[in-house]
Amino acid sequence: MAVFIPTIAGYEPFYIHRDADATATNILTTYGVVVKDSGYPMNRKAKEPYKNDWKDRSGDDEWNTQINYEAFTYDLEAAIFIRVTGQVTEASARQQLAAAVRSFEDFIKNGEFKFYSAWHCFGFQKVRIDEFHAPDSSKFGICGDLVRVYFTFSVKVNDPITAMTYNSTQNKIVAAT
């Protein structure tokens, strides 16, 4: 049994670049992970500037000598699935899927990383795993010799300002210029 790498028309890769690695990893071709859905943070909330609210005056005195947009950190959640293929029983399929999920989880669980979604054309740096939601049995399915499981994971974006892009020549996620 092996991780199944599907061919999906129009699917754009999702890359993760750990700080310890020299190059970015396409999680589809490496782990068989398909990002089914991921949030796109269009409405980021700005932090309030330093201010005083004087009781005897209308309005606020805000100290913003320079317009500097500082955004709050936020969480993103991605719905993903992994498939395995081969002649399988339900028990062996669950074992193989658990091993595939653990392998992907081990890849992203330590330290900060960058990610880039080619579909959304955006990426972030200083990202860390926040929560890994284990797949439940209702998200498990067998269809012939393919077995799949859906699960989600959440990440925390600690640098919501710096735009990142994928440099295909270097196979790295870099700051957009």
What are the domain boundaries of the chain? 2-39+72-175
Which amino acid does the sequence have at 104?
Answer: F
Please state the separation of Cα 22 from the chain's center in Å: 19
Q: Which residue did the predictor score with more confidence, 108 or 46?
A: 108
- For residue 67, what are the contacts with CB-CB under 8 A and spacing of at least 6? none
For 69-115, the DSSP string reads --BPPEEEEEEEEEEEESS--HHHHHHHHHHHHHHHHHHHSSS-EEE
Q: Which two tokens stand for residue 112?
A: 């900060």
- pTM equals 0.73
Q: Is the pLDDT of residue 124 over 80?
A: yes
Model pLDDT for residues 41-73, shown as the tens digit of each residue: 655 666 666 666 777 777 666 666 555 555 566
Averaged pLDDT for residues 143-166: 80
Distance (Å, whole) CA 15 – CA 137: 28
Place of tokens 């969480």: 75
Closest CA to 145 of 95, 80, 90: 90
Distance (Å, whole) CA 173 – CA 167: 6
